[in-house]
Structure 1
């Protein structure tokens, strides 16, 4: 309800005498369109009127919507929210009905996984509706989550080079593009080992992008890459960000894959770094929140050397190594 003064109520009736104004206010009261604010006290005239009133908003009739919600929805949709908020249902109705029709007529399609955008278009004829528009909100109000639609999120395709499909094998994930291309060329030129370890597949991690790409490893990786006895190595820059990427990757997928630092490559980095008078300064705004997980994979001597680099706000890029070092 909205609070309004007597003067505002009579604004359009200033030309009437007081008795006519009084009768006008009485009619509004009889119709239930206004209610007196008794705390505002009377205007001191006879017959008296209160100085302020509550404007009573007309209640909209949602009975047709209530019937629709109760008796036409799919059993997969919870009716609780919209029964309690029919005004919201009026706004959402077009999208809810499209979802309802899909669930009633095409529920079998949910047995086959589809990408988020594909399912979104299939239901609402808008490919971004589920990801960037009202889709998630509509689902929540219907008592559903995105998982109920059997969808998967797409990522940038995993970039990799297969040197051999023999299993079990060593798979090496590389943070940056240059080492990926250099090592790939090295293997293409007839070599099978890098720093003394036989490598069957190289994966380009694209920095932090590997975290998301690896979420779809089961979907985009070839069968040989998922062999349970494969060893997965990681090699990135010797800085906080590179270490953080490894730790996030290893922790996020530790229930399925054991990912370990490629120790001989880091050892080679440190060896070459000792010949350089001044290493580059650590890039600004790096997240320095790393644990001991990365360092636990190295011996004490190597850990001290790496920590000394970091403590001086310096870093060693992967590019310190080239084909001649492999």
Structure 2
């Protein structure tokens, strides 16, 4: 998957580029660092760049520096250039421009002037005059109608890049992108939806659900709606929060690691109109009850840590514990708190 992403990016990039610019663009195609890592991460990126070099598709510049990552790559590169003559007629370009399509990319890249690509442009030109009379349907439905593939317009597919090339949006297609709803549990002991709790992991979802049924709270936090965030999936599914009653407060608890902290920070930045807060008592319980820490993956960005800590109203001991994890590149998963832990602390007076 990374190889296809790199090739598509190279088609649209300028002749000379740096390896850092290329990897940044590749990472942006994934919705999270975790997904990039699972697809192969930097090592996969390195191997594909080496392969493209061996195939002669990209060439390192002379008098070059090395990148800072290990294994390192030459910093500056250029694409192999082939002289390709224009294959679309001037009349085709005039027709596309008359339909308010941006075809500058195809003039710069004649190798993209294929019969298949023109067929797609023709499809767009036929649809646009009818758009005012069309009703909104899902992106997948419109993609199937126009291009014969329901997923072709997805962000990671060619269709998304095609639309950007010609200056068209989903709005022009009268198409909407709907996220996948999250799994949630409505507390039967509550008759409102004022407070919601989102948890990153599935095991934590079931444990906290069990605790709420037993104690009707989790570490003194009243929860009316419990939501399984499913890692970074919550970034796409979060808009469905309004369908569970538009809570007045929305708490979040995830793993104490770069990914877990980043999810909360990204939620706050992408949905600033919602009252999102860290579930501090749960984080304190994780620190208090962890039996060991484990090595953490991801980028330990100081900005993420500082942003997360600025949202806490906790004691210095907890703050120091989180900073120590960050400095040592260690993590505590949500599984540090289990139902046995919760039951024992309830009996000991913690909750």
Bucket of the pairwise TM-score, normalised by the shorter protein: 0.5 to 0.7
1:241 lines up with 2:233 in the alignment: no
When Rg is computed on C-alpha atoms for both structures, the one with the higher figure is 1
Q: Which residue of 2 aligns with 1:269?
A: 286
What SS is found at the alignment partner of 2:331? coil
Per the alignment, do residues 106 and 166 of structure 1 end up closer, same or farther by CA in structure 2, a change over 3 Å counting?
same
CA contact (8 A) 2:128 2:172 kept: no
After the TM superposition, list the runs of 4 or more consecutive aligned residues in structure 1 that deviate by more than 6 angstroms: 57-61, 82-85, 87-90
Matched, 1:179 2:216: no
Is 1:101 paired with 2:113? no
Q: Kindly tell me: are residues 172 and 68 of structure 1, through their superposed partners in 2, closer, same or farther at Cα, counting changes over 3 Å?
A: closer
Question: Normalising by the residue count of structure 1, what TM-score does the alignment of the two structures yield?
Answer: 0.64
| Aligned counterparts, 1:49-128, within 5 A | 62=89, 65=92, 77-78=100-101, 81=104, 91=115, 92-109=117-134, 111-112=135-136, 114-128=137-151
CA 1:62–1:208 in 2, change beyond 3 Å: closer, same or farther?
closer
Pair 1:192-2:192 in alignment: no
* Displacement after TM superposition at 1:61 (Å): 9.7
**Alpha-carbon distance in 1 for matches of 2:204, 2:163:** 45
Once the two structures are TM-superposed, the CA of residue 288 in structure 1 deviates from its matched residue by 0.7
- Listed as ranges, the gaps of 5+ residues in structure 2 are 1-83, 344-351
* Alpha-carbon distance between aligned partners in 2 of 1:291 and 1:305, rounded to the nearest angstrom: 12
> How is 1:268-287 mapped onto 2 (pairs within 5 angstroms)?
268-273=285-290, 276=291, 279-283=292-296, 285-287=297-299
Query: Taking structure 2 as the reference length, what is the TM-score of the superposition?
Result: 0.60
* CA positional deviation for 1:235: 0.9
Aligned to 2:336: 320
Question: Can you give the 5+ residue segments of structure 1 that lack an aligned partner in the other structure?
Answer: 1-56
1:209-220 alignment runs, 5 A limit: 209-214=233-238, 217=239, 220=240
Does the 8 Å CA contact 1:117/1:130 hold for their aligned counterparts? yes
Aligned residues: 251
Q: Deviations over 1:115-152 (max 9, x none)?
A: 22211122233323333665345534544233432433
Q: Counterparts of 2:187 and 2:232 in 1: how far apart (Å)?
A: 24
| C-alpha deviation, 1:199, in angstroms | 0.4
RMSD value, Cα: 3.5
Closer, same or farther in 2 for the Cα pair 1:166/1:124, shift >3 Å?
Answer: same
